[in-house]
Amino acid sequence: MSNGLAEKIRDKTAMVGIIGLGYVGLPLINAFVKAGFTCMGFDVDQTKVDRLLAGESYIKHIPSETVAGWINGKHVFPTADMSRLSEADALLICVPTPLNDSRDPDLSYVSGTAEAIAKVLRPGQLVVLESTTYPTTTRDVLLPILESSGLKAGRDFYLAYSPEREDPGNPDYSAAGIPKVVGGIDETSSQLAADLYSHSIVKVIPVSSLEVAEACKILENTYRAVNIALVNELKTLFDRMNIDVWEVVDAAKTKPFGFQAFYPGPGLGGHCIPIDPFYLTWLARRQGMSTRFIELAGEVNSRMPEYVITRLGEFLNDIGKPIRGSKVCLLGMAYKKDVDDPRESPSFELMELLLARGADLTYNDPHIPSLPKMRHHNVPEMSSQELTVEFLQAQDCVLIATDHTAYDCDFIVEHSSLIVDTRNATKNVTSGREKIRKA
């Protein structure tokens, strides 16, 4: 049975099904289409499916022209009909894995997807989980649901884990250009998954088990979260000592070994870095252990929005103004520069803190024209304001939360009375530096 799937993968006649057409799934489709495969795209959100069928993209780094090419060339078939999952030879699961209100893993999207697959699972299919999660998820959560179909993994169908490694907004790394770690439930599953990805991904890294592949992803993102926490904590110390932490980091990174630069910010954003460490601490508690180092890093990073607003209040106070009633424009709602991805963005926390303190708040983000609804935030209806001379002059404070390339910082500083910069976006501004405060 595996020989038949291997042959389809080898000659690119295998139908690749991508479940979850978001910031991971859509770039993955792009990689497989470029490699010569035909894809089916599955999503429970009919609006996404309809937009794709109309040749329209809803993700900035996948142009609508690309999507229209998929549809017109019959390379991609989007659908919300999960009964059609049996039509794909390989099913790659790219659904969200958020935290619940108690900051425990919420695997409802993964288990719901597994239940949908189990209803129509047929012999010879390959199922790969890509969603970020804790080690043992594929074996302990996904596998039993899939085998409730009556089919046996490794005999009737094949199961693997391969963590997504998307870096939205980074032109140097597309989905196809980042090496892919792959671990299977058995050797055949691992080989089939590796063979599939090898057509569309620059390099495949096979590992010995599902759990190693899952732990790899957790390590990558926890590593970043811990190091960002370190520089965030140093920022609060160096601020008190009137030392520029960004200059310190830039000086330190001239060392050609033993140091990698991480930079402070107003908090963590994106789907992975703010979430993955909590997956690991939850897993540790289940094993009767505590991960104090990781938990401390999470505490440091989660405090940063409050720290930024406290500093903003101090800077306004220096010019005789309280936060209440002051006009504050928040620059950037996306979690990182040059993307339209608002997931877990600290800007929403900054917004809530400012509104709670009575600020007259507006925002600008060239990539997010109106504010989306967010799972953990009460988001007001608000649209991005144009950064005209008159608008900037009317603000008491401009808070830079995301350093989009589109921002003309010289222009913004020139026409603003106070800038609070959390990203060092104004580092090259030469005129009007007396208006700039770092936070």
Q: Which helix (H) or strand (E) holds 23?
A: none
User: What values do phi and psi take at 331, rounded to 5?
Assistant: -95, 110
Q: Which of 39, 94, 272, 409 is catalytic?
A: 272
Q: Is residue 272 annotated as part of the catalytic site, yes or no? A: yes
Give the C-alpha separation, 24 to 30, whole Å. Answer: 10
User: How many C-beta neighbours within 10 Å does residue 226 have?
Assistant: 18
CA 269, CA 216: separation in Å to the nearest integer? Answer: 20
Q: Which helix (H) or strand (E) holds 93?
A: strand 90-93
The answer to whether the CB of 52 falls within 8 A of the CB of 78 is yes
How many alpha carbons fall within 13 Å on the CB side of residue 379? 19
**Strand 419-421's sheet: what is its strand order?**
360-364, 327-331, 397-400, 419-421, 436-438
* Beta-carbon contacts of residue 415 (< 8 Å; ≥ 6 apart): 389, 392, 393
CB burial class (10 A; 0-12, 13-18, 19+) of residue 241? exposed
Amino acid sitting at position 113: T
The tokens of 4 are what?
A: 């038949």
Other CB atoms closer than 10 Å to residue 309's CB: what's the count? 24
Using alpha carbons, select from 406, 259, 260, 256 the residue that is nearest to residue 331: 406
CA distance 165 to 41: 19
Q: Which residue numbers are catalytic?
A: 272
